[in-house]
Amino acid sequence: MATYKIVHYLNQFFGGIGGEDKADFKPEVREEIIGPGQALAAGLGEDYKIVATVICGDNYFGENLDEATDTIIDMVKKYEPDMFVAGPAFNAGRYGVACGTICKAVEERLGIPVLSGMYEENPGADMFKQDVILVKTGNSAATMRKAVPNFVTLIKKMTTGEEVLGPAAEGYLERGIRVNYFAEKRGSERGLEMLVKKMAGEPFETDLPMPKFDRVSPGPAITDMSKAKIAIVTSGGIVPQGNPDHIESSNATKFGWYTMENMDRLSKDDYMTIHGGYDRQFVLEDPNLVIPLDVLREKEKAGEIGELYPFFATTTGTGTATNSAAKFGDDIGKKLIEEGVDAVILTST
């Protein structure tokens, strides 16, 4: 039997380079099996060989998207592999986005099968599950052992051209792709069986799962703005010069709190925008266009609002996964409630 060649992609942490302090690590290829690759190799057996491992820091990939992608494509191409595997990324957001991005690029440019894996709430999952098969994992590396059999099965099927079955059967994330197939029972029979099970309180599986949408009731109106404590929250990417917390320009996995205490307006010498989804030239000259501190200070001094909360919360909305955004909202909201804030002005771009 032929030996199938695999190239594996890892970030700086799983590649054994280091943690956050090495997140700017440039792409490097090593002809050895590293980290999670050991478990994959053991499961795949002697007919499959990981011929190289590409390692790249999460920050470097995110901040040099085109250059990093081109470099890694050239590294992969050299080995003429039969399969490309990235991660798994578990719940690491930047890593998940990198895995999805490079898998999609390898498939499009080199025409070989690709596979990755991540936790369903990883931002990369929402972004790439329609483009790339993503093995469903838990939220940490502790779940690797459970995911390995699904990786092994899919790698073998994809390299040999065997049919890949549905998400439930193969253990990958739902892709939202519909396919035609012949069911053993007609729809009316299946519908009646579901109805009977539902009436009996028994579990059943619908043919058409419906999306779940949050329903948020609006808060009560502020009756007296002259006594209200107001905060500013933005998805417009306003950060201190240098972006000290490394908030991503798109696909954000974090947010930041920054001061505007004792300031009448934000200075372009101290603040900038890192948002990747709009023409930033005007905001770089005047960050108050997104954080309207100048106008709110005037209203505070005039007694039209009671008090302005001295910190603003900020992130970027471009491409950010809804699960990440929901978590940001929960964390920000809890803090503002603890601080006695009465209302929030949410600014965008």
List the domain boundaries for the chain.
4-170, 225-347
**Confidence at residue 248, expressed as pLDDT on a 0 to 100 scale:** 86
**Confidence at residue 77, expressed as pLDDT on a 0 to 100 scale:** 96
Nearest 10 degrees: Cα torsion 194, 200, 201, 204 = -20
Compute CA 242 distance to the chain's CA centroid, rounded to the nearest angstrom.
23
d(C-alpha 53, C-alpha 75), whole Å: 10
Contacts from 63-71 at CB under 8 Å and sequence distance 24+? 63/24, 65/101, 68/27, 69/101, 69/102, 69/105, 71/26, 71/27
**Confidence at residue 2, expressed as pLDDT on a 0 to 100 scale:** 63
The CATH fold of domain 4-170: Rossmann fold (3.40.50)
d(C-alpha 212, C-alpha 44), whole Å: 37
- Residue numbers of the chain with a pLDDT score lower than 50: none
d(C-alpha 150, C-alpha 40), whole Å: 10
∠ CA(4), CA(157), CA(80), 5° rounding? Answer: 30
> CB–CB of 299/225 below 8 Å?
no
Compute CA 23 distance to the chain's CA centroid, rounded to the nearest angstrom.
17
> CB–CB of 254/333 below 8 Å?
no
Burial class (CB in 10 A: 0-12, 13-18, 19+), 2: exposed
**Confidence at residue 325, expressed as pLDDT on a 0 to 100 scale:** 85
The residues, any chain, with a CB within 8 Å of residue 296's CB and separated by 6 or more, are 230, 232, 305, 308, 345
Q: What is the DSSP string of 236-296?
A: B-EEETT-TT---SSS----EEEE-TT-SS--TTTEEE--SSS--HHHHH-GGGTS-HHHH
**Confidence at residue 245, expressed as pLDDT on a 0 to 100 scale:** 93
> CB–CB of 24/46 below 8 Å?
no
Which H or E run includes 225?
A: none
Burial class (CB in 10 A: 0-12, 13-18, 19+), 201: exposed
The pTM of the full predicted model, rounded to 2 decimals, is: 0.67
**Confidence at residue 226, expressed as pLDDT on a 0 to 100 scale:** 94
